[in-house]
């Protein structure tokens, strides 16, 4: 048995979350490893899933195990694992079938994992995977090139923070523009933003009219196209997901009933139609819009983040660290649901 943070039902109230004893996960494929968890970080998908928001695509059995991001030490490896051995320090965003990283142990496919650079601690490593990969893949999808001007909304949220750092150090953007609330303005400049708009004081779509070569929306604002130059690319990770995104959450080993498949098909049509309507401003301005959903990829994580972490160019901001207790997990989710974290929210499982 092992301890893992769970919810016994879909709920909007983190008071329902509890650390429970469950049968310890076992390796079910030769490419998997077992990790002794040291830290986990929270992402909005954790509370959205606990609220049942992806249940139409993924009707999982209860109790739901919580947490996608992990850092820790490899304790066992399958026969075909090539990149890791027992004792290695690793971090990653686990695939959907292994979700449940707020736990003493987790099983993950090696393809989801990267080695933690020597000087980097478990909390910093756990902060990176989901939000960091999302930022990287979104800026890549936007085609950001050296010297260009990029706009990132919500620059001190999980995704926004990594997008600012990557825009500066990985993509070599010329100007990096972001929006934050008043208390975060100075911190956003420290992280590399060259222009910061306090969205609580100014309408950013007016003061930043048509300035950006690439736009990354992390807050879900359908008017963000106003910031983009005509003919440029805008990528959102936070607007209404499209039908492809709903398919992303499917798992082959969790079959849908005939009625479940019908409902999913209908939901995909509804979100595609609603998305088409929501994005009419982008089309009218000739801004190419795409919604992306991150792909779990340990090698991308290693390539994109290990050099920045190892050199000290990137030190992930930690909003708060909570203990691995019922109260700690509930408080961490309460902060995450409020939507105003400064950087990442961590649950420390072991020292
Ligand atoms: N598609 C994907 O694969 C994917 C992956 C990761 C995340 N996401 C989604 O992306 C969104 C952001 O995720 P996250 O991890 O960055 O969330 P987060 O860590 O909770 O950060 C949210 C940030 O948004 C800022 N914010 C709130 N309202 C704002 C506004 N009107 N203008 C500018 N900033 C505002 C908040 O800062 P203030 O305190 O300044 O308001 C906060 O820092 C979520 O909806 C999440 O579900 C999608």
Q: What is the CATH number of the domain that holds 13?
A: 3.90.180.10
Give how far Cα 331 sits from Cα of 43, 86, 247, 280, 301, Å.
Answer: 14, 33, 31, 39, 28
Determine the pLDDT at residue 132: 98
Determine the pLDDT at residue 255: 76
- What pLDDT digit, counting tens, does each position of 123-168 carry? 999 999 999 999 999 999 999 999 999 999 999 999 999 999 999 9
**Number of structural domains found in the chain:** 2
Q: Is 293 in the pocket of ligand 1 (CB under 6 A)?
A: yes
- What is the percent of the chain where pLDDT is above 90? 85
Nearest atom in ligand 1 to the alpha carbon of residue 161 is 16
SS3 (DSSP) at 263: helix
Structural domain of residue 86, as residue ranges?
A: 2-128+316-348
- What is the percent of the chain where pLDDT is above 70? 99
Judged against a pLDDT cut of 80, whether residue 15 lies above it is answered with yes
Tokens found for residue 265: 């098909």
The protein residue whose alpha carbon is closest to atom 28 in ligand 1 is 219
Indicate whether 95 and 140 sit together in one domain: no
The protein residue whose alpha carbon is closest to atom 6 in ligand 1 is 131
Determine the pLDDT at residue 36: 98
Q: Is 294 in the pocket of ligand 1 (CB under 6 A)?
A: yes
Indicate whether 191 and 271 sit together in one domain: yes
- What pLDDT digit, counting tens, does each position of 275-320 carry? 899 999 999 999 999 999 999 999 999 999 999 999 999 999 999 9
Examine residue 308 and state whether it is found in any structural domain, yes or no.
no
Nearest atom in ligand 1 to the alpha carbon of residue 181 is 40
Q: Is 180 in the pocket of ligand 1 (CB under 6 A)?
A: yes
Judged against a pLDDT cut of 90, whether residue 253 lies above it is answered with no
pLDDT, averaged across the chain? 95
Q: Is the peptide bond before 63 cis (omega within 30 degrees of 0)?
A: yes
The protein residue whose alpha carbon is closest to atom 45 in ligand 1 is 238
Work out the burial of residue 277: count CB atoms within 10 Å of its CB; fewer than 13 is exposed, 13-18 middle, 19 or more buried. exposed
Determine the pLDDT at residue 252: 67
pLDDT band at 259 (very low <50, low <70, confident <90, very high): confident
Indicate whether 265 and 204 sit together in one domain: yes
Indicate whether 140 and 279 sit together in one domain: yes
Examine residue 286 and state whether it is found in any structural domain, yes or no.
yes
Task: Report the distance separating Cα 128 and Cα 316, nearest Å.
Answer: 7
Indicate whether 167 and 235 sit together in one domain: yes
Examine residue 201 and state whether it is found in any structural domain, yes or no.
yes
Q: Which of 238, 242, 296, 318 to mutate to test the pocket of ligand 1 (most atoms within 8 A of CB)?
A: 238
Find the mean pLDDT for residues 178-186.
97
- What CATH number has the domain bearing residue 277? 3.40.50.720
Distance 157 CA to ligand 1 centre (A): 5
- What pLDDT digit, counting tens, does each position of 51-87 carry? 998 887 777 889 999 999 999 999 999 999 999 999 9
Determine the pLDDT at residue 234: 98
């Amino acid at each position: 048995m092992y301890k893992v943070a769970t919810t016994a039902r879909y709920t909007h109230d983190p008071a329902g979350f509890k650390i429970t004893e469950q049968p310890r996960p076992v390796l079910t494929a030769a490419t998997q490893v077992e990790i002794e968890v040291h830290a986990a970080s929270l992402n909005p998908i954790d509370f959205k899933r606990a609220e049942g928001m992806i249940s139409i695509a993924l009707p999982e059995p209860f109790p739901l195990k919580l947490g996608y991001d992990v850092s820790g030490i490899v304790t066992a490896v399958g026969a075909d694992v090539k990149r890791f051995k027992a004792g290695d320090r690793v971090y990653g965003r686990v695939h959907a079938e292994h979700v449940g990283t707020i736990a003493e142990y987790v099983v993950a496919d090696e393809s989801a994992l990267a080695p933690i650079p020597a000087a980097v601690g478990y909390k910093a490593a756990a902060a990176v995977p989901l939000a960091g990969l999302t930022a990287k893949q979104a800026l890549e999808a936007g085609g950001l090139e050296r010297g260009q001007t990029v706009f990132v909304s919500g620059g001190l949220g999980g995704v926004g923070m990594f997008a600012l750092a990557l825009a500066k150090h990985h993509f070599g953007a010329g100007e990096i523009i972001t929006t934050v609330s008043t208390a975060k303005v100075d911190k956003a400049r420290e992280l590399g933003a060259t222009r910061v708009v306090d969205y609580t004081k100014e309408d950013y779509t007016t003061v930043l009219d048509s300035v950006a070569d690439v736009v990354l929306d992390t807050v879900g604002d359908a008017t963000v196209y106003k910031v983009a130059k005509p003919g440029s690319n805008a990528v959102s990770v936070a607007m209404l997901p499209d039908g492809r995104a709903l398919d992303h959450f499917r798992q082959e080993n969790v079959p849908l009933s005939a009625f479940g498949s019908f409902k999913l098909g209908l939901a995909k049509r509804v979100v595609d139609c609603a998305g088409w309507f929501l994005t009419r401003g982008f089309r009218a301005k000739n801004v190419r819009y795409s919604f992306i959903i991150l792909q779990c990829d340990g090698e991308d994580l290693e390539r994109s983040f290990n050099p920045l972490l190892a050199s000290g160019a990137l030190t992930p901001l930690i909003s708060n660290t909570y203990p691995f207790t019922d109260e700690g997990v509930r408080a961490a989710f309460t902060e995450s649901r409020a939507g105003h974290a400064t950087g990442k929210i961590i649950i420390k499982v072991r020292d």
